[in-house]
Amino acid sequence: MSEITKEYKNQVKELYKKSKIVLTDEELASIDYADFSLSNIEEEGLNLILYVNNNRYCAKEMVLLPNQTCPEHMHPDLENGLEGKQETFRCRWGEVFLYVEGDAPLDSDTISVSLVNGKEDYYTAGKEIHLKPGEQYTIAPKIKHWFKAGKDGAVISEFSSPSYDEFDVFTDPNIKRVIRDR
């Protein structure tokens, strides 16, 4: 894992501020800077504040820096009989390009964003949903998806069924989802 620099953390906090979502100092101190053990957080990563996650629902506030990508993954059913996570993404600031499994495979020549160089095999979901502030999309359980911020970054609210990030299944076998030191 690469070290998260003070400059990187400040960029994330600045996007939260630009969104005009009121956050407490405690919430800003609790940001999870997820690099997925790839040591490439500026390109593949996710930054989030967890408001609540219990056995009924979950709410998060996520930031992607400009052109940052959250790698492709899906939320499987759990062994205890719980259905995988269903989540609604609502763009609050900037723009986000969300890609979900669809009828056709990913065609890198027809999507609006570039794939992470050298990682093209790990991005397969190709149905594009372009979200601008105030727009939202719901992702069903067990659907592969990934998302990337536009050129200015993005702030996205997530409302979902309970979140068990440790059970997410990533297309890239090198990914490990761990909570980093803040």
**pLDDT score of 103:** 86
* Tokens found for residue 84: 């995988």
- Which comes out higher in pLDDT, residue 117 or 177? 117
Q: Is a pLDDT exceeding 80 seen at residue 164?
A: yes
Q: Is a pLDDT exceeding 80 seen at residue 177?
A: no
Distance of alpha carbon 161 from alpha carbon 87, whole angstroms? 7
Q: Is a pLDDT exceeding 80 seen at residue 1?
A: no
* Overall average pLDDT of the 4-23 stretch: 97
**pLDDT score of 104:** 85
pTM assigned to the model = 0.94
Q: Which domains does the chain have, with CATH numbers?
A: 6-170 (2.60.120.10)
Mean of all residue pLDDT scores within the chain: 94
**pLDDT score of 2:** 59
Q: Is a pLDDT exceeding 60 seen at residue 162?
A: yes
Q: Long-range contacts made by residues 76-81, C-beta under 8 angstroms, separation at least 24?
A: 76/141, 76/142, 76/167, 76/168, 76/169, 77/141, 77/142, 78/164, 78/167
Residues 6+ apart with CB under 8 A from 101: 124, 125, 126, 127, 143, 144, 145
Helix (H) or strand (E) holding 59: strand 58-64
**pLDDT score of 178:** 62
